[in-house]
Amino acid sequence: MVKPTLVRYDAPPFGVGELWTCGDRVLWSELPRRSESRPTSDSSHALAGRLSAFFAGAADDFADVELELDEGFYGDCQRALRAVPRGEVVTYGELAALAGHPGAARAAGTFCARNRLSPFVPCHRVVAANGLGSFGSLGLDYKRRMLALEGVSF
């Protein structure tokens, strides 16, 4: 049995991000945050370099990264959102429809708020029908910065 491993990566100027892996599979990912209590990158893991480059503006869709996906509605949303190309956005309602659940826009919003696999499952690409939407505790400026990495302005 493979034991989960914590991987930290530097993503200036976003901060330090963390992900948990089990072998080559990502189980959980936390977007980079500035914090005095988070240590800097401590891993030579291949994904650490790719994530650092992504947050510096490198084009990477992470399509080849194996993820521990959920079952049911959340898993449907994860798979649908991974198919949204870099530089494009969808509304919460469009995500729900792409996931096979038309009319479930609010549930798609809840999925995005609880996303445990960002940026591999890029919830920053999901917007409200009338504007940017939200981005939880990281805030709208963070979401704008992530969209700007992909050439999208809001």
Q: Looking up tokens 């309602």, which residue turns up?
A: 93
Residue 33 C-alpha from the chain's centroid: 13
The number of beta carbons lying within 10 Å of the beta carbon of residue 144 is: 16
In the residue annotation, 77 being an active-site residue is answered as no
Q: Name residue 47's amino acid.
A: L
Catalytic member of 22, 77, 112, 123: 123
72-82 and 105-113 helices cross at what angle (nearest 10)?
A: 80
Active site residues: 123
